[in-house]
Copies of this chain bind each other. A is one copy, B any other.
């Protein structure tokens, strides 16, 4: 598949990234060509470093450079509450709110009956182990699981699976709220979000 022309190769390598078409890839390639060498080197180095040095936290499956991630190691966090997320990006999004000081579990995927992704295809067993034995959770017994998968079909399927698996364990399980996003106009909110917001209304 590789061409003799290094520019063509760079264009097709860039075009394998999500949301980057042939045209953007070519714009990026020529930009890199016209920039001082350091940009190409910096990206190349960062790419290799990321694949060499990043692995999964052996407790929560978050991305880390050590055996356990900095969140699992943090002594001032509440390790009895686990927030379950689909991937490391979602973990970052929740961390950025500054509203959560518990631990995480990164599934690296969601259960998707349509695409044939079952619980064994994602990091589900590691989570269930942490719930069943305090040892697998660094010595702290888990009190609550917050399911923070997206309110999509697959996210809901994952949530359903978790609730069935966790209910018998006598651990509290909760789901992040769905509804009208802050700052958005009711008028332009889609039907399913609005009906969810209605059915999940809470008393004031």
Contact of A7 among B13, B14, B24, B50 (CB under 8 A): B50
CB of A10 closer than 8 Å to a CB of B: yes
- The answer for the CA separation of A43 and B42 in the assembled complex, in Å, is 12
Q: How many copies does the complex hold?
A: 2
Instruction: Contacts A39-B16, A88-B30 given; indicate if A44 touches B48 (C-beta within 8 A).
Output: yes
Q: Are B50 and A40 in contact (CB under 8 A)?
A: yes
Q: How many residues of A contact B (CB 8 A)?
A: 48
Q: Are B18 and A50 in contact (CB under 8 A)?
A: no
Instruction: Name the residue on B nearest A12 (C-beta).
Output: B46
Residues of B within 8 A of A108 (CB): 34
CB of A29 closer than 8 Å to a CB of B: yes
Contact of A47 among B40, B49, B65 (CB under 8 A): B40
Smallest distance from the beta carbon of A57 to chain B beta carbons, Å? 13
Residues of B within 8 A of A50 (CB): 6-7, 9-10, 29, 32-33, 40
Instruction: Name the residue on B nearest A109 (C-beta).
Output: B34
Contact of A49 among B6, B20, B30, B43 (CB under 8 A): B6
Chain A contact residues: helix, strand, loop or mixed = helix
CB of A5 closer than 8 Å to a CB of B: yes
Q: Are B33 and A16 in contact (CB under 8 A)?
A: no
Q: Are A89 and B48 in contact (CB under 8 A)?
A: no
Residues of B within 8 A of A18 (CB): 27-28, 31
Q: Could you list 6 A-B pairs, sorted by A, with CB under 8 Å?
A: A6-B65, A9-B49, A32-B51, A33-B50, A40-B48, A44-B47
Residue positions of A touching B, CB distance < 8 A: 4-7, 9-10, 12-14, 16-20, 24, 26-34, 37, 39-54, 63, 65, 87-89, 92, 108
